[in-house]
């Protein structure tokens, strides 16, 4: 298949089909509505089930039910709707039911706005709902990567029996880029012997997140924590650009990393050795790679479309070894190449001033 | 001598966690007998809700999932859509279904989702210790309506069958009671009809079962049965509210 020009939101839908997903439960919200619209059109052609729920709350609970049958199941929303899904995500994590959730972020808090933002980083990576749990969070930076990560997200969710989330922003959902679905396939996955539905010839399967005995619940929490450690050990992904000799490393995820790349090129042209570190998995955060990528650095700049969320993790994982500056725009405003370049230049001057 | 009475296969050997005089045990048994009689134990999925029956996945010997408070009809929708050959039922109390899960039950009914809902209405929150439910009667004292439910202050009770009957969607709606043997037999007929309807792909069925909660009503089991007859049935009349199409109803 050759490349086709597609909107990010629609590419998610086509990628889901390629990855063997046939169940979608959702609710319209800007700026992700093209995805449910696309699947409402496409799923009937491939024998899939598309259902518009009465709310995001209902949608995620439909996902919970469908996931329990062993189905590959998708839901999507944008920030305020993702807040509503948190209850169900916590239950899915607690019951260890795999599913893929797409958040095409817009500005908040509250109803906020409908323009792109990255202000749900905390919610996505630190739990979001109640209880000790983690969601695998993927942050693509192009429409192609967005499509590819639908397959990756489903595979990781199935592999670890855990919810996975694609954390994109409104730009990524709305913009058009060439995309190829050739590489997206349903991977070989172990038979889901735990699925409910037809128990002929086997013991019954039960999925619950309820453990009334505190000793049992603690055991369950420890088991989940061990799983999260395993994921953190094995599944981090990151991309580096000119970090090898970089004295200033810009850390950014998603589309913002592409803006930062242009700013870094501009800085390089002026003799400032800058590079970009882009975490692709936000949880687990690629902390070891970050430390390696900043080995030659004298300063770090975190850039986000928020008032500063990921920057806290960057500081945490660098353990105070380097000064970490932050530059952010919020509410649907995006950092410009020029603005990021100026921030790089400022840090460069400060670093040299120290000498 | 042949066996004349035994535990239905669709019930496990787990002891019920319910209080003396509570009607959940009777209702569980009726559901289990129906599952046995229809021969659907191997493809039935129970969707447990939140309330006294929260752990009923320990009692029904079928596949099961436990759903968040009020969300059982949505979770059941997910199971049924992804596994249409499964027979999916929710078992929900009045707090779960008529307060937290009002949106989910209305929309599952409106979609005529091919699932069965067993709705247990005892006009009070049992598990959390006797607080006011959406179905608590006017004047009824609970821990959160200690002066008696005043409709000016706490609003009015919700009649779920009547509410759902305003929708085009649902295929079968009936309210029953289990306060005496005659009504138990009728209740079983209704539950069987509801499951049979689903087996035939007939759409959404809900059986509302009036049920006693002696513990939180602060009544003896016998007085609680009297209260079901005198008070609950007066506000929540028994009967078939909706019946679409013909269903074999032999019991």
Q: What is the pLDDT of residues B172-182, one digit of tens each?
A: 999 999 999 99
CA B193/CA A44 separation, integer angstroms = 32
Binned at pLDDT 50, 70 and 90, residue B248 comes out as very low
What average pLDDT does the segment A225-243 reach? 98
CA A329/CA B117 separation, integer angstroms = 49
**Are residues B65 and A51, on separate chains, in Cβ contact within 8 Å?**
no
pLDDT of residue B245: 63
Closest in B48, B75, B103 to A65, CB measured: B75
pLDDT of residue A200: 83
pLDDT of residue B250: 39
Q: Which residue has the tokens 């797409």?
A: A102
**Are residues A65 and B79, on separate chains, in Cβ contact within 8 Å?**
yes
Neighbouring residues of B237: CB distance < 8 A, sequence distance ≥ 6: B175
Inform me whether the pLDDT recorded for A256 exceeds 50.
yes
**Are residues B78 and A65, on separate chains, in Cβ contact within 8 Å?**
yes
If asked whether residues A95 and A117 sit together in one domain, one would say yes
**Are residues A208 and B48, on separate chains, in Cβ contact within 8 Å?**
yes
Binned at pLDDT 50, 70 and 90, residue B249 comes out as very low
- pLDDT, tens digit, 9 for 90 and up, residues B45-103: 999 999 999 999 999 999 999 999 999 999 999 999 999 999 999 999 999 999 999 99
CA B176/CA B170 separation, integer angstroms = 17
B47 strand-pairing partners: B65, B90
Which is the CATH superfamily of the domain at B24-243? Thiamin diphosphate (ThDP)-binding fold, Pyr/PP domains (3.40.50.970)
CA A97/CA A66 separation, integer angstroms = 9
Q: Of the residues A182, A211, A234, which one is the last residue of a structural domain?
A: A234
Inform me whether the pLDDT recorded for B15 exceeds 60.
yes
Q: Name chain B contacts of A200, Cβ cutoff 8 Å.
A: 42-43
If asked whether residues A244 and A295 sit together in one domain, one would say yes
A23 touches chain B (CB under 8 A): yes
Q: Name chain B contacts of A88, Cβ cutoff 8 Å.
A: 68, 71
Kindly give the interhelix angle for B102-110 and A56-68, rounded to the nearest 10 degrees.
70
Mutation pick from A197, A203, A211, A220 vs chain B, by most beta carbons of B within 10 Å, is: A197
Q: Could you tell me which chain A residue has the CA closest to the CA of B74?
A: A62
Binned at pLDDT 50, 70 and 90, residue B251 comes out as very low
- pLDDT, tens digit, 9 for 90 and up, residues B185-214: 999 999 999 999 999 999 999 999 999 999
- pLDDT, tens digit, 9 for 90 and up, residues B24-37: 999 999 999 999 99
Q: Could you tell me which chain A residue has the CA closest to the CA of B104?
A: A58
Q: Could you tell me which chain B residue has the CA closest to the CA of A24?
A: B78
Closest in B61, B78, B83 to A64, CB measured: B78
Residue B60, φ and ψ in degrees, nearest 5: -85, 130
Q: Could you tell me which chain B residue has the CA closest to the CA of A47?
A: B82
SS3 state of residue A325? strand
Following DSSP, what letter does each residue of A93-115 receive, concatenated? HHHT--EEEEEEEB--STT--SS
Any idea what the CATH number is for the domain that residue A15 is in?
Answer: 3.40.50.970
Mutation pick from B65, B110, B127 vs chain A, by most beta carbons of A within 10 Å, is: B65
Exposed e or buried b per residue across A225-255, where buried means at least 16 C-beta atoms within 10 angstroms of its C-beta: eebbeebbeebbbbbbbbbeebbbbbbbbbb
Q: What is the DSSP letter of A163?
A: E
**Are residues B45 and A61, on separate chains, in Cβ contact within 8 Å?**
no
CA B103/CA B100 separation, integer angstroms = 8
pLDDT of residue A348: 94
pLDDT of residue A354: 52
What average pLDDT does the segment B1-22 reach? 94
If asked whether residues A297 and A174 sit together in one domain, one would say no
Min Cα separation B84/chain A (Å): 9
The token pair that represents A83 in the structure block: 């807040």
What average pLDDT does the segment A329-336 reach? 97
Question: Do residues B135 and B105 touch, judged by C-beta distance below 8 A?
Answer: no
Nearest CA to A74 out of A11, A167, A12, A160 is that of: A12
Question: Do residues A256 and A334 touch, judged by C-beta distance below 8 A?
Answer: yes
**Are residues B82 and A65, on separate chains, in Cβ contact within 8 Å?**
yes
Q: Name chain B contacts of A54, Cβ cutoff 8 Å.
A: 103-104, 106-107
**Are residues B65 and A54, on separate chains, in Cβ contact within 8 Å?**
no
Taken in order A337, A339, A344, A348, the sign of the CA dihedral is: positive
pLDDT > 90: percent of chain B: 96
Q: Cis bond leading into A280, ω under 30°?
A: no
Inform me whether the pLDDT recorded for B247 exceeds 50.
no
Question: Do residues A188 and B46 touch, judged by C-beta distance below 8 A?
Answer: no
Q: Please state, as a whole number, how many other Cβ atoms lie within 10 Å of the Cβ of residue A319.
A: 9
Q: Containing H/E element for A127?
A: none
CA A257/CA A238 separation, integer angstroms = 11
Inform me whether the pLDDT recorded for B124 exceeds 70.
yes
Binned at pLDDT 50, 70 and 90, residue B43 comes out as very high
Binned at pLDDT 50, 70 and 90, residue B228 comes out as very high
Inform me whether the pLDDT recorded for A355 exceeds 70.
no
If asked whether residues A22 and A64 sit together in one domain, one would say yes
Mean pLDDT of chain B, nearest integer? 96
What average pLDDT does the segment A186-212 reach? 92
**Are residues B77 and A62, on separate chains, in Cβ contact within 8 Å?**
yes
Q: Could you tell me which chain A residue has the CA closest to the CA of B70?
A: A58
- pLDDT, tens digit, 9 for 90 and up, residues A337-353: 999 999 999 999 988 76
Q: Could you tell me which chain B residue has the CA closest to the CA of A61?
A: B75
If asked whether residues A178 and A259 sit together in one domain, one would say no
Inform me whether the pLDDT recorded for A42 exceeds 90.
yes
Q: Cis bond leading into A65, ω under 30°?
A: no
If asked whether residues A291 and A203 sit together in one domain, one would say no
Total count of domains within chain A: 2
Binned at pLDDT 50, 70 and 90, residue A2 comes out as confident
Q: Name chain B contacts of A53, Cβ cutoff 8 Å.
A: 74, 107
Q: Which residue has the tokens 């059986």?
A: B207
pLDDT > 70: percent of chain A: 99
pLDDT of residue A190: 85
What average pLDDT does the segment A121-143 reach? 97
If asked whether residues A69 and A178 sit together in one domain, one would say yes
- Extract the runs of DSSP E, i.e. beta strands, from chain A: 4-7, 23-26, 49-52, 73-77, 99-105, 136-138, 163-169, 176-179, 206-207, 238-241, 248-251, 274-279, 281-283, 299-304, 324-328
If asked whether residues A179 and A250 sit together in one domain, one would say no
Binned at pLDDT 50, 70 and 90, residue A239 comes out as very high
CA A144/CA A179 separation, integer angstroms = 5
Q: Containing H/E element for A154?
A: helix A143-160
Binned at pLDDT 50, 70 and 90, residue A199 comes out as confident
Q: Name chain B contacts of A68, Cβ cutoff 8 Å.
A: 45, 65, 75, 78-79
Any idea what the CATH number is for the domain that residue A324 is in?
Answer: 3.40.50.920
C-alpha pair distances (Å), B198 with each of A91, A121, B190: 27, 43, 13
Q: Which of residues 33-52 of A touch B (CB under 8 A)?
A: 49, 51
Q: Could you list the residue range(s) of the whole structural domain that residue A334 is in? A: 238-354
If asked whether residues A177 and A283 sit together in one domain, one would say no
Q: Which of residues 124-183 of A touch B (CB under 8 A)?
A: none
C-alpha pair distances (Å), B199 with each of B22, B62, B84, B87, B115: 30, 16, 10, 7, 9
- What's chain B look like in SS3? CCCCCCCCCCECCCCCCCCCCCCHHHHHHHHHHHHHHHCCHHHEEEEECCCCCCCHHHCECCEEEECCCCCHHHHHHHHHHHCCCCEEEEEEEHHHHHHHCHHHHHHHHHCCCCCEEEEEECCCECCCCCECCCCCCCCCCECCECCCCCHHHHCCCCCHHHHHCCCCCCCEEEEEECCCHHHHHHHHHHHHHHHHHHHCCCCCEEEEEECCCHHHHCCCHHHHHHHHHHHHHHHCCCEEEEECCCCCCCC
Q: CA A114 from chain center: how many Å?
A: 19
CA A28/CA A54 separation, integer angstroms = 10
If asked whether residues A179 and A313 sit together in one domain, one would say no
**Are residues B62 and A53, on separate chains, in Cβ contact within 8 Å?**
no
Kindly give the interhelix angle for B181-199 and B24-38, rounded to the nearest 10 degrees.
40
Q: Is A32 exposed, middle or buried (0-12, 13-18, 19+ CB in 10 A)?
A: buried
Inform me whether the pLDDT recorded for A172 exceeds 60.
yes
**Are residues A57 and B71, on separate chains, in Cβ contact within 8 Å?**
yes
SS3 state of residue A202? coil
pLDDT of residue B227: 98
Q: Could you tell me which chain B residue has the CA closest to the CA of A89?
A: B68
Q: Which of residues 209-268 of A touch B (CB under 8 A)?
A: 209-210, 212
Q: Is B229 exposed, middle or buried (0-12, 13-18, 19+ CB in 10 A)?
A: middle
If asked whether residues A134 and A263 sit together in one domain, one would say no
If asked whether residues A44 and A100 sit together in one domain, one would say yes
Inform me whether the pLDDT recorded for A267 exceeds 50.
yes
* Lowest mean pLDDT, pick from A64-73, A265-274, A276-285, B241-250: B241-250
- pLDDT, tens digit, 9 for 90 and up, residues A13-25: 999 999 999 999 9
Q: Could you tell me which chain B residue has the CA closest to the CA of A204?
A: B63
What average pLDDT does the segment A276-297 reach? 97
């Amino acid at each position: 298949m050759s490349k086709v020009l597609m909107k990010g939101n629609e590419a998610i839908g086509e990628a889901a089909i390629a990855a063997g997903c046939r169940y979608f439960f959702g609710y319209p919200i800007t700026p992700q509505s093209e995805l449910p619209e696309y699947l409402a059109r496409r799923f009937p052609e491939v024998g899939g089930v598309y259902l518009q729920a009465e709310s995001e709350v209902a949608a995620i609970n439909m996902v919970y039910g469908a996931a329990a049958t062993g189905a590959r199941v998708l839901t999507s929303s944008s920030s305020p709707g993702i807040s509503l899904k948190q209850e169900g995500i916590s239950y899915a994590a607690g019951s260890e039911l795999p599913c893929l959730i797409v958040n095409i972020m817009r500005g908040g808090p509250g109803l906020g706005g409908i323009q792109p933002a990255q202000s749900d980083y905390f919610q996505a990576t630190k739990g979001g709902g109640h209880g000790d749990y983690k969601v695998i969070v993927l942050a693509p930076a192009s429409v192609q990567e967005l499509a590819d990560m639908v397959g990756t997200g489903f595979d990781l969710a199935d592999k670890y029996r855990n919810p996975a989330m694609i954390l994109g922003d409104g730009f990524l959902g709305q913009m058009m880029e060439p995309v190829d679905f050739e590489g997206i396939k349903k991977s070989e996955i172990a038979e889901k012997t735990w699925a409910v539905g037809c128990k002929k010839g086997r013991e019954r399967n039960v999925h619950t997140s309820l453990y009334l005995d505190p000793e049992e619940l603690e055991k369950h929490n420890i088991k989940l924590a061990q799983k999260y450690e395993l994921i953190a050990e094995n599944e981090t992904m990151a991309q580096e650009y000119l970090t090898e000799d970089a004295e200033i490393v810009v850390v950014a995820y998603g589309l913002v990393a592409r803006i930062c790349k242009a700013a870094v090129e501009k800085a390089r042209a002026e003799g400032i050795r800058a590079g970009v570190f882009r975490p692709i998995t936000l949880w687990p955060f690629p902390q070891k790679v970050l430390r390696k990528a900043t080995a030659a650095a004298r300063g770090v700049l975190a850039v986000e479309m928020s008032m500063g969320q990921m920057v806290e993790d960057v500081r945490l994982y660098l353990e105070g070894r380097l000064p970490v500056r932050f530059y952010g725009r919020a509410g649907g405003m995006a950092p410009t190449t020029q603005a990021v370049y100026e921030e790089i230049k400022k840090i460069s001057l400060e670093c040299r001033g120290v000498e | 001598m042949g066996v004349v009475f035994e535990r239905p296969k669709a019930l496990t050997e787990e002891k019920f966690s319910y209080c003396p005089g509570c009607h959940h045990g009777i209702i569980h048994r009726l559901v289990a007998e129906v599952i046995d009689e229809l021969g659907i134990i191997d493809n039935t999925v129970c969707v447990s809700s939140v309330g006294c029956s929260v752990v009923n996945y320990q009692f029904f010997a079928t596949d099961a999932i436990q759903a968040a408070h009020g969300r059982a009809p949505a979770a059941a929708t997910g199971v049924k859509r992804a596994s249409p050959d499964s027979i999916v039922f929710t078992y929900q109390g009045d707090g779960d279904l008529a307060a937290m899960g009002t949106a989910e039950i209305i929309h599952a009914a409106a979609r005529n989702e091919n699932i069965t809902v067993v709705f247990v209405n005892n006009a009070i929150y049992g598990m959390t210790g006797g607080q006011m439910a959406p179905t608590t009667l006017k004047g009824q004292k609970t821990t959160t309506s200690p002066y008696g439910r005043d409709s000016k202050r706490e609003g009015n009770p919700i009649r779920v069958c009547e509410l759902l009957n305003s929708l085009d969607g649902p295929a079968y709606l009936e309210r029953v009671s289990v306060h005496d043997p005659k009504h138990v037999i009728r209740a079983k007929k209704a539950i069987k009809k509801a499951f049979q309807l689903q087996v035939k792909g007939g759409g959404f069925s809900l059986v509302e079962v009036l049920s006693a909660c002696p513990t939180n009503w602060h009544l003896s089991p016998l007085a609680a049965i009297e209260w079901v007859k005198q008070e609950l049935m007066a506000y929540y009349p028994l009967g078939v509210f909706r019946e679409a199409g013909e269903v074999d109803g032999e019991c």
